[in-house]
Structure formats: C-alpha cells, structure tokens
Amino acid sequence: MKKIGFLSFGHWTPSPRSLVQSASDALLQSIELAVAAEEVGADGAYFRVHHFARQLASPFPLLSAIGARTSRIEIGTGVIDMRYENPLYMAETAGAADLIAGGRLQLGISRGSPEQVVKGYEYFGHHPAEGSTDADMAREHTAKLLDVLRGEGFAEPNPQPMFPNPPGLLRIEPHSPGLRERIWWGAGTRATAQWAGEQGMHLMSSTLLTEEAGVPFHQLQAEQIRLFKDAWNAAGHPHEPRVSVSRSIFPLVSSVDHQLFGRQAASTDQVGHLDDGLARFGKTYAAEPDKLIEDLAQDEAVAAADTLLLTVPNQLGVDYNAHILDSLLRYVAPGLGWR
C-alpha cells in the first residue's frame, strides 16, 4: 500500500478560463476538493504556502476547516516557508488545527524558496542575525518550533495570574501530543535531506531538486531518499521515517483528458537555473493507464517513497481534479500494487 494524496498550490486568477476567480474561491474549493478526495479513497490533502501571491498563504484556518469536514485523510502543507514564521504562534495554530482534525496533521516546512518579493520575510518582522543568512534564520525558527512542540514547560508563570495555572513552568497551548513526530522537511538537495533525517523530521521531496548530478531526476531523488534514511537510522530516532514525493500524473481516460494533457506525453526532465545554480525538474507523466503503470514502475524515487502527492491543476475546478485522483486510484494504483 502507498498513501496517495494531492498537493495544491491554490492558484487563483480573474481570468475567464479559470474556475478559481478569487481568494475565496481558492479557499472554499480547497475544502471541497479535500472532501471529494476522501470520498474517492485518497489518503491526503496537502497545500503549498506562498506569500504575496495569488495562492494559498495562511494554511491553518484552511486545514482546520478541512479537518472539521473530513474524518480520515491526512491534511498537511507542502511546504511552509520558515523564514516567515513566529515559531511559538505557529505551534499554537498548528496544535489547534491538529486537535480539530483528530491528530491527522502532517506539517511540511522548509527553509523557503524564491518568493514574489525581495526579502519578503522582513515585512513580516523577521531579520537574519548579523553574520547569518535567511536560511540560517529558517533553521533557527525550525529548531524553536520543534522544541516547543514537545510540550515541555518553559515560560515562567505570573504569580498573580488571571486564571489558575498548573504547577511548574508553562508550555504553549493548545498542545497536540504526537505532532512533533509528524513534522516534514522539504529538502531540495541530498545534504538537506540528510540534515532532516538527523533532526528526526520526515522527508518531503518535490518535483525539483536544486542540484544537478547528470542523472535522471528520479535516480537523483532516490539517492536523496537513501541518504535521508541512512541519516535517520544513524541518529536512532524511535519513530518510523516517512518519505513523500510529488509528481504531475495525468491518466488519459477521457477525451477531455487527452485534450488537456495529451501533449504532455512527450515530457522529459528539464535542467534550469534557480537561486543562481542549476536545478533539475522532474517530468510530467501523462498517458493511458497501461502506459502510466509501465512508466511509473521505473521511477525509483516513487518506489522508495511511502507517500505520493499529485500536483493538481486546481484552476480546472474541484470536479476535474477529483476525476484525476479517482482515475489514478481506479486505473493505475492497482496495477502497481498500491491498492
């Protein structure tokens, strides 16, 4: 069995061709897509977080609403840019969302990626310390978040509080037991995957890696996964490591599918520039089910991961994206032993 979910960037645009015209549309349709995904048998609903963009930016109200409307699927992020986050407030809001969902939150975080504005985190009041970088700051915020999610008291109580306090130092509330063991790190390189394993965070790897080694994307990503698991095992963490990979996969089972994605059948890996360095982008899989089964069986990283997230074109609307998920689960997953 492999967990299969979707990853949505939540794009919205007032274009006549988009079924997602506004931020309200993006949020409400995200909830409906998660409900539909659970109904067709998918295992997860994940959302990308971008600031200063016509995309999803504030995940916890959305995840709380989804948690209240669903009962089984995992809900999560892929990923939250930790350069922008206040770790203590994030621990409160994440804890609340997890409790509403009954412990189904899988929280994906990272050091961040290129954003819409220059040094956007500074507008949120976050500035790297002198001599450090924004990536250093993201990891500092992450360390603080992981620490407070353990649920240990650290804050000195007021001797004359408004309400009675429990004995000892106080912790962040609400505290959701087990959430610390459900934090994922979005790693773009082999080195950051190793670091995530050392820290006891699960690995979330997307359709791009910010390094180039001259081998196919899926093989480079499979190596990243191996290094992550080796680092996890060497660190001796008590809980089991998990790995998710993202893929653009479109089973062509209708005339509409062929019209929209048939040209993607010839897709290949791409190498480009990102953050002043080379990056490798994974290809799109678009084919009839038998061909998809054959192609995906050769994807070493998909084979090594326990969770597969489909990057969905959310502007095509809830019904079509539910159709993509249903087609994969119905016509492709059984042929690969995933169902």
pLDDT along the chain (339 residues), means of 10: 96 95 98 98 97 96 98 97 98 98 98 89 97 96 98 96 95 98 95 97 88 86 97 97 97 97 85 63 92 97 97 97 98 97
φ/ψ (deg, to 5) at 74: -70, 145
CA–centroid distance for 167 within its chain: 37
- Cβ neighbourhood burial of 156 (10 Å; 0-12, 13-18, 19+): exposed
Render pLDDT for 110-132 as a digit per residue (tens, 0 to 9). Answer: 998 778 999 999 999 999 999 99
φ/ψ (deg, to 5) at 242: -125, 155
Task: Provide the pLDDT for residue 182.
Answer: 98
Length of the chain in residues, anyone? 339
**Prior bond to 79 cis, omega within 30?**
yes
What is the Cα–Cα distance from 239 to 319, expressed in whole angstroms? Answer: 37
The enclosing H or E element of 25 equals helix 23-40
Task: Give the angle subtended at the CA of 231 by the CAs of 80 and 150, to the nearest 5°.
Answer: 50
Render pLDDT for 256-286 as a digit per residue (tens, 0 to 9). Answer: 999 999 999 888 777 665 666 666 678 899 9
Task: Provide the pLDDT for residue 112.
Answer: 84
Closest CA to 338 of 296, 286, 280: 296
Task: Provide the pLDDT for residue 282.
Answer: 81
Q: What residues does 185 pair with on adjacent strands?
A: 109, 203
Task: Provide the pLDDT for residue 214.
Answer: 82
The enclosing H or E element of 122 equals helix 120-123
Q: Is the dihedral of CA 37, 40, 41, 42 positive or negative?
A: negative
Half-sphere exposure of 22 (CA within 13 A, CB side): 3
Nearby residues of 273 by Cβ (< 8 Å), 6 or more positions away: 279
Closest CA to 102 of 51, 64, 148: 64
What is the Cα–Cα distance from 156 to 240, expressed in whole angstroms? Answer: 34
For 262-339, where are the alpha helices, taking DSSP H only? 289-296, 300-304, 318-327
Name the residue with tokens 């660190």: 235
CA–centroid distance for 107 within its chain: 7
What is the Cα–Cα distance from 30 to 73, expressed in whole angstroms? Answer: 14
Helix axis angle for 318-327 and 23-40, nearest 10°, is 30
Task: Provide the pLDDT for residue 275.
Answer: 63
Task: Provide the pLDDT for residue 113.
Answer: 79
Query: Which pair of tokens denotes residue 330?
Result: 């119905």
- Cβ neighbourhood burial of 113 (10 Å; 0-12, 13-18, 19+): middle
φ/ψ (deg, to 5) at 337: 80, 15
* Pairing status of strand 183-186 against strand 243-251: unpaired
Task: Provide the pLDDT for residue 271.
Answer: 67
The 8-class DSSP code of residue 48 comes to -
Closest CA to 36 of 3, 77, 79, 73: 73
Q: What share of the chain is helix, strand, coil (3-state, %, to 5)?
A: 45, 20, 40
